[in-house]
Amino acid sequence: MELIEKKSIAAKIAPKLRMLCSAEGLAGVKFTADKKRGAKETTVESVLSVYEGGAEEIYVENVGTFSIYPVYPGASLAGKIAIVTGSAQGFGAGIAEYLAANGCKVCVADMNAAGAEAKAAEISEKYGIEAISVGANVTDEESVKNMVDETVCAFGGLDIFVNNAGIVRAGSLEEMTKQNFELVTSVDYTAFFICTKYAVQPMKLQREIAPEYMADVIEINSKSGLEGSNKNFAYAGAKFGGIGLTQSFALELAPYGIKVNAICPGNFLDGPLWSDPEKGLFVQYLNAGKVPGAKTIADVRAFYEAKVPLGRGCRVEDVTRAILYIVEQKYETGQAIPVTGGQTMLN
Ligand SMILES: NC(=O)c1ccc[n+]([C@@H]2O[C@H](COP(=O)([O-])OP(=O)(O)OC[C@H]3O[C@@H](n4cnc5c(N)ncnc54)[C@H](O)[C@@H]3O)[C@@H](O)[C@H]2O)c1
């Protein structure tokens, strides 16, 4: 049997083993395709009945070994397992770091495989927590399935899926090409469907074993998902669509204890999207004369800060506070939470 097939089978077993060990999800399971000496031997069919509690190793015939280990609670997200897409840089990197700092094992997933690997290594070193990286394209179904299987084989399940990867291709109706429109739609809209389809599979398996257990799908949306964005309709349209998916997934997944919520941040003015000295939005807007009278990058920045009642751009910690709220609360789903310093208000 190919390794990829073994991992696919393992991804259906590990989440159940994990919850048998701790119904609160305070356990980890690591899968290795080889047979470990001393591991209890069994078959796919009877693996769950062989498990008797406590830390141990189980070898499943023709598949591989599941090493089960308990995690002791301490940090607020101790024992939790998360995937953050697009986490090699920007908001995603900050979210992955925050989760790890609070005891969560993380998969740093990004199309930029080298950047993801470096970020995962940095997180492991800094927080002493297990982090893996997966090179993944969120618009490609096979790549997304692999991202979820790799995470489940490394850690044993999945509790928090953060759909963060996103791109911007701004432009007026005259400027926008169909190709760019479809690119934005595929990354910012369609990928949320593809990722959720695969991310909820281990979550459902966990719930089969632990009927009270709850998991989270979190979409990093945008204030542009709540109100239109001038000459940026491809992005705003995809983000509006993301709210529709969030609400619909929330209805479908509520019976499985999976909450689905979106966070709608304001402009992350310190992040690479805005501040990159060569292709960041500050430089682009200055060169395009988008901000009337602006002569420097500082002028462009001041223009955008002045739009925010609380007077500054959105920061990573504003978003991670919303993430912690979403994960800790147990009675809200299908919501879109603005994190905009008052720039966008719900009605
Ligand atoms: N920057 C902002 O001002 C802002 C504001 C509101 C919401 N957001 C949202 O936050 C999220 C992150 O934005 P950011 O500013 O940190 O972006 P960023 O450009 O700094 O990082 C995005 C990451 O996603 C990765 N990525 C892009 N396409 C991918 C794909 N197909 N598969 C896998 N990875 C892919 C990139 O390699 C990159 O590492 C996005 O969904 C964005 O819409 C950003």
**Same domain flag for 49 and 94:** no
What pLDDT is recorded for position 53?
A: 66
Q: Is 222 in the pocket of ligand 1 (CB under 6 A)?
A: yes
Write down the pLDDT at residue 216.
98
Q: Is residue 274 in a domain? A: no
- pLDDT at site 55: 58
Confidence of residue 54 (pLDDT cuts 50, 70, 90): low
Same domain, 141 and 260: yes
Check pocket membership of 165 for ligand 1, CB cut-off 6 A: yes
One domain for residues 119 and 261: yes
Q: Examine residue 280 and state whether it is found in any structural domain, yes or no.
A: no
Same domain for 41 and 158, yes or no, is: no
Number of independent structural domains in the chain: 2
Query: pLDDT of 304-326, one tens digit each?
Result: 999 999 999 999 999 999 999 99
Q: In this structure, which residue's CA is closest to atom 14 in ligand 1?
A: 90
Does ligand 1 have an atom closer than 6 angstroms to the CB of 137?
Answer: yes
**Spatial CB neighbours of 165, under 8 Å, sequence gap ≥ 6:** 85, 86, 92, 109, 110, 111, 138, 187, 191
Q: Which of 59, 98, 127, 235 is catalytic?
A: 235
Q: Which of 42, 72, 102 is the last residue of a domain?
A: 72
**Domain hosting residue 55, numbered range:** 1-72
Q: Are residues 40 and 104 in the same domain?
A: no
If one residue of 83, 111, 229 were mutated to test the ligand 1 pocket, choosing by the most ligand atoms within 8 A of its CB, it would be: 111
Question: Is the pLDDT assigned to residue 74 strictly greater than 80?
Answer: no
Ligand 1 site, residue 166, Cβ cutoff 6 A: yes
Examine the domain organization and report whether 29 and 149 are in the same domain. no
54 in a structural domain: yes
Considering 23, 45, 72, which residue would you say is the last residue of a domain? 72
332 shares its domain with 237: yes
Atom 40 of ligand 1, nearest CA residue: 166
Q: Which of 14, 44, 72 is the last residue of a domain?
A: 72
Reply yes or no on whether the pLDDT at 284 is more than 80: yes
1 and 125 assigned to the same domain: no
Q: Are residues 114 and 97 in the same domain?
A: yes
Render pLDDT for 89-118 as a digit per residue (tens, 0 to 9).
999 999 999 999 999 999 999 999 999 999
Residues 325 and 250 in one domain: yes
Whether 44 and 175 map to the same domain: the answer is no
| CATH number assigned to the domain comprising residue 186 | 3.40.50.720
Ligand 1 pocket, residue 136 CB under 6 Å: yes
Q: Examine the domain organization and report whether 125 and 251 are in the same domain.
A: yes
Q: Please state, rounded to an integer, the average pLDDT across all residues of the chain.
A: 95
pLDDT the model gives residue 195: 99
Minimum-distance ligand 1 atom for the alpha carbon of 186: 31
Instruction: State how far Cα 304 lies from the chain centre.
Output: 27
Catalytic, 256? Answer no
279 assigned to some structural domain = no
Query: Is 113 domain-assigned?
Result: yes
Residue 285 lies inside a defined structural domain of this protein:
no
Note whether residue 11 is domain-resident.
Answer: yes
In a domain, 114, yes or no: yes
